[in-house]
Every structure is written in C-alpha cells, then in structure tokens.
Homo-oligomer: A and B are copies of this chain.
Amino acid sequence: MEPKIIKGGGVTSALGFRAAGIACGIKPAREKDLALIVSDVPGEVAATFTTNLVKAAPVKVSMQHARNGKIRGVVVNAGCANACTGVGGIADAKSMLDHVAKEFNSKPREWLVCSTGRIGTRLPMPQVRKGIEKAATKLSLENGTEAAKAIMTSDTRRKEFAMRIKVNGRKVTIGGMAKGAGMIHPNMATMLCFITTDACIDKPTLQSCVDEAVEHSFNRISVDGDTSTNDTVIVLANGLSDTNLLKSYHPQFALFKKTLTHVMRKLARMIVEDGEGITRVVDVVVKGAASVQDAKLAARAIAKSELVKTSWTGGDPNWGRIMTALGYCGARVREEMVEIYYDGVLAVVNGQPSKTPMAKLKKIAAKPIFTLTIHLHVGSGEYSILTTDLTEEYVRINKGE
C-alpha cells in the first residue's frame, strides 16, 4: 500500500502525541512563541543537529539528551536563539527542561529543548517558565497547529505534513512540523523540524533512517547559503502502533524509510517555498559529473551564486553566469561538454548557446517553479539541490531596519 497523505495532519497525527503553542512574552505583541510536543509514553529519539561549530545552548543540551535514554517530548521557543549566551545560556536551557520535567513528573533528561530567533540575547526566563506551565495545560491533538505557529520566526506560514502507511495490518503514522525561511543552507539551515511517529522502531535503526532522510531533504535545500547555530531535526517514535519492530529485515521497513524521507522532503520544500523574499523555487539537478562529490560542488556553487540567483529574479535564463559558477566550483568541468537545460529545454550545448530562442528560455526562467538541469558529460555523478532566487525583498527583510 502506498503512503497516504493525512489532510491537515502534523505533529499530533501519530497516536499518543499532543502539542500546544502559546504566547509567553519572548516575541512582542503577544505572538505565539512557545511550543510543547509531548508523547503519552516515553519514546525512542533520533536527531540531527547543526554542523556549525558555534552551537546554541539548547543544541548543546539536546545533543546530550538525545544520545541515549527515552524521551517524553520537546519544548521549543521562538524569538530568541539562546546562542552566544555562554554558561548563562546553558543554565537557561537546562532550567527550561527542569521546569517541563516537573510539570510531567519526569526527569529533565527525558526532554529536549530548541530555540530559534536572534543570536546573542538571553531568554526572559520568568516568562518562559510561566509559559511552560501554561503550555502544559493546553496540550491537545488540535493544538498541533498552534505549536506549528509558535515556532515561526520570519516564516510567513506554518509548515505541517503527515502521512500514514500500513505495517503488519496496522496504521503507522509519521507527521511533523518545521520552521525556517532564512539562514538556510545544507548541514543544515536555520531550521527546526519535529517529527512524531507511533512506529515501533529501535533507536539505532531510527537514527539510520533519519540520517538518510535528512541527507535527501534538509541537506539539499539552500536559500541564502548560511548554516545556522540552532538547526535541529528531532524524530520521536513512541511505538504505540504496536506492530512488529521495524528492523531492516522487516518487509515494510523500506516503506517506512521512504515515507519518513517523503515527509522530510515535503517539509524541506515548504521551507524553500517560504524563503525570505523569494519569487522562484529552482530545482538544480547536476548529472554526468566525475563523482557525486563533484555534482554536489557544482549544484551548491550554482545555488549559492548571487549572480545566478539575481538573474532568476529578473526571469533571465543567464546561463553565462551558470557556466561561470561551474568553472569555479572545484568540480571537473570540460567547458565544451557542458549542456544546460531549463525545464528540459536545451539552453547550452557543447558549452555554447543552443538554437533555442531566448524568448522561450525567458518564459521558463520567469516561472515560479522550474528545473535547471546541468549535464557535465564527464562521468555519472548526480546531485540535486532545491534553491531560490535572490530578491530586493530578501535584502529588505535582512538589512535589519
């Protein structure tokens, strides 16, 4: 059976998960800024954290807690990253966990914590503590959507998605929520993603599924090329679907992994589509590279080139700038072998302009979503990355006035 999309599904679609999203006073104007996700029973956890050497306090704390032992849930705040806050910031992150643990008569190390927002400011802890108490009273299935709202920063819309499969004749659900719109680049973006599932799966197997799914989703998106200090993907599996354990030899294991990857890819795409100020979403596909690594270098250079991205803003299929990026990306490139396609229409052949009329290519580059395919014809390495254009609005949003 193919996975089914759960309409309106999200972080509370799987059995035994409740959530809440409330305003505690970190953000101005009573905007929601604190979310809580709780499993009725302790579950397995697998997580991926930012590769940035400058890690926020909640990342440092959650990395420890995610290492072993079961997890009850996650507390998340928006409006303050709790990054570059020294030992005080670590104490704040731990205090959040102490507080949430007390509410649920559990141990602090059964909880994870995430923060997102401006770097270098401390959390207003009295408000945060009161917020946690309040959130604990608001937990429900319906409030999954409120939680998805509470983790937003520069996001213009909430990001939720869920799917259901059948395992041993029982329903298994994978659902989640994410946030992110800027500081988005592989390994990883300022993005937070929380996925819950009622699957029966052990920790190492879950972690291997998460690693693979992240590699094919959140590690393949780029808005502005900046990797944040707070990026986190957390997957909680509470086992309430009560199926056989999903080990690699289980007949439905591949289906589970594929569905988890699909949920992450969907949430990753939502992040790109909500990218700050963007007007185009571009699937950059590199084929025929000397190696996968080379294909990655080429795809990333294009996704990071200010000149390529601004040309898309103007609906200009400026392949000269793409050739330029290919030339400096570090991959093996033979100019005279390069082919470039916009939505499958040949723009460059043998490193030179094709006979396709410019007007036809311009029409494609002006679309809100298109695919740029580059064939290097020097090997069989492939890689793709989902990126955006670079607009005046992006600059306006980020210039901080």
| Chain A positions near chain B (C-beta within 8 angstroms) | 51-55, 81, 83-86, 118-121, 182-183, 187, 224-229, 304-307, 310-311, 313-316, 318-321, 323-328, 333, 335-336, 348, 350-353, 390-392, 394-396, 398-401
Given A306-B224, A400-B314, also A118-B324 (CB < 8 A): no
Centre residue among A86, A229, A398, A399 by max chain B CB count within 10 A: A399
Centre residue among A52, A85, A324, A390 by max chain B CB count within 10 A: A324
Which of the residues B353, B390, B400 comes within 8 Å of A311, measured between beta carbons?
B400
Which of the residues B118, B119, B304, B323 comes within 8 Å of A83, measured between beta carbons?
B323
The reply to whether A310 and B399 form a contact with Cβ atoms under 8 Å apart is yes
User: 12 new A-B pairs (CB below 8 Å) besides A120-B352, A226-B307, A392-B396?
Assistant: A53-B327, A54-B323, A54-B324, A81-B320, A86-B351, A86-B352, A187-B328, A224-B306, A226-B306, A306-B398, A310-B399, A392-B395
Given A310-B399, A315-B401, A316-B401, also A328-B227 (CB < 8 A): yes
Given A120-B353, A224-B307, A306-B306, also A316-B54 (CB < 8 A): no
Copies of the polypeptide in the assembly: 2
The reply to whether A392 and B390 form a contact with Cβ atoms under 8 Å apart is no
Which of the residues B228, B311, B352 comes within 8 Å of A84, measured between beta carbons?
B352
Q: How far is the CA of A17 from the CA of B144 in the complex (A)?
A: 75
A154 to chain B, nearest CB (A): 11
Which of the residues B84, B324, B351, B394 comes within 8 Å of A52, measured between beta carbons?
B324
The 10 closest A-B pairs by CB, nearest first: A119-B320, A54-B327, A314-B399, A316-B400, A52-B327, A314-B401, A310-B398, A392-B392, A314-B400, A313-B399
Q: Which residues of B contact A51 (CB under 8 A)?
A: 328
The reply to whether B183 and A307 form a contact with Cβ atoms under 8 Å apart is yes
Given A315-B401, A333-B54, A351-B54, also A229-B327 (CB < 8 A): yes
Which of the residues B227, B314, B398 comes within 8 Å of A324, measured between beta carbons?
B227
Q: Looking at chain A's contact residues, is the secondary structure mostly helix, strand, loop, or mixed? A: loop
Q: Which residues of B contact A226 (CB under 8 A)?
A: 305-307, 321, 324-325, 328
A398's closest neighbor in chain B, by CB? B310
Can you list 21 pairs linking A and B with CB atoms under 8 Å apart?
A: A53-B335, A54-B327, A54-B333, A55-B335, A84-B348, A84-B353, A85-B352, A118-B320, A120-B320, A182-B307, A183-B307, A187-B328, A224-B307, A226-B328, A306-B306, A306-B390, A311-B398, A314-B399, A315-B401, A316-B401, A395-B395
Q: Which residues of B contact A85 (CB under 8 A)?
A: 352
Q: How far is the CA of A325 from the CA of B315 in the complex (A)?
A: 30
Q: How far is the CA of A400 from the CA of B306 in the complex (A)?
A: 13
The reply to whether B54 and A86 form a contact with Cβ atoms under 8 Å apart is no
Q: How far is the CA of A187 from the CA of B187 in the complex (A)?
A: 26
Q: Which residues of B contact A348 (CB under 8 A)?
A: 84, 120
A201 to chain B, nearest CB (A): 31
A157 to chain B, nearest CB (A): 22
A392's closest neighbor in chain B, by CB? B392
A226's closest neighbor in chain B, by CB? B307
